[in-house]
Chain A
Amino acid sequence: MQNLVPTSRGIHLPFDVGLVAPALTIIVVALVAPIAWVLYLSFFADQGHFSVQSYMTVLGSTLELKAFLTTLRLSASTLALCILLGVPYALAMTLVGRRVATALMFAVTLPFWTALLVRTFTWLIILQRHGLASSAFESLHPSAESISFVNNLAGTLIGMTHIMLPIFILPTYAAMRSVDPALIRAAISLGATRLVAIRGILLPLSMRGILSGATLVFVTSLGFYVTPALLGGGKVNVLSGRIERNITAYDDWGAASALGVLLFLLVGAVLIAARFVLVRSGRPGGPDNE
């Protein structure tokens, strides 16, 4: 037998590199290699000569810089809406009985696995001019002009929030459910109101789940392409959209790659920052023991 070493679970099974080989091969071929190639192209797009021209082009263009701002703004707004709607929703799932909680879980899981395009498509129909949303708006304000919710940032934001909300709720709910119920019982039997129990115990103890959900939503939003492209109607230029335009419309692989590298760095920075916060928040003992 090969290396019989203490393992994460204390089981003495031989570790077999062959078992991870297929998965790691796929990751190297389909993930590491493309990223490496994009990095290479961002510097060597000019017939294999090193140059930072692609980065100069990208950073010197108002269009690309605006795309950066739009991407950040859209992602931050999506995250804010997810927290605003998702935390109470997860809380409700924790508070209600089993049957209602299952129904609430189903309401999150079904959209989570419904095709991204189908969801974007239905929002396109709901939000379009003379669609459901604008008819409802007109019946409330008969004098107002017919308005459209698509082809702008508002429509994109609605669609993105709908798509991201399950991704936020699932980890948040998991964290809330894993809080030891005895703590809540103890607090309430000692005279705490339910609100205090929620604010003082449940929320702080599920902060890690909320943070990881928030990170996932923000990072995914940063790279979003489909929803802004369809609901933004060409008016919402996000980074992913600029990458696509640079490839298909301008055939400028260097600029597309430079944008890709910058997007990658942005995502990496957010992940590292989130990890830093998570590690700090997970410090044993907590602030009271300092």
Chain B
Amino acid sequence: MQLMHYLTLAAILFSIGFYGLITRRNAIAILMSLELMFNAVNINLVAFNRFVTPTEFIGQVFAIFVIVVAAAEATVGLAIVILVYRNWRSIDADRVNLMKW
């Protein structure tokens, strides 16, 4: 298996996540699309680590950092979603526009 296959798979996954990110209304669905994009980036990091520098493990360490930060992001994001739902009775991202001008 060549590096190209993994990078193309990651590009496809990233584009799908991007599509979901800008077309979904439900805030939880937006967060799920974000997780897809994080995973695409992680596949890139691990694939480069495997094919370009297989004896160092810096790519894998960065992948771990990405996973941890994504977990923190999901925690805070979902807490915000629950709070928004409690106040608006809705998690439609198009309707929560209090901070737009």
Chains A and B belong together in one complex:
no
Interface residues of B (CB under 8 A from A): none
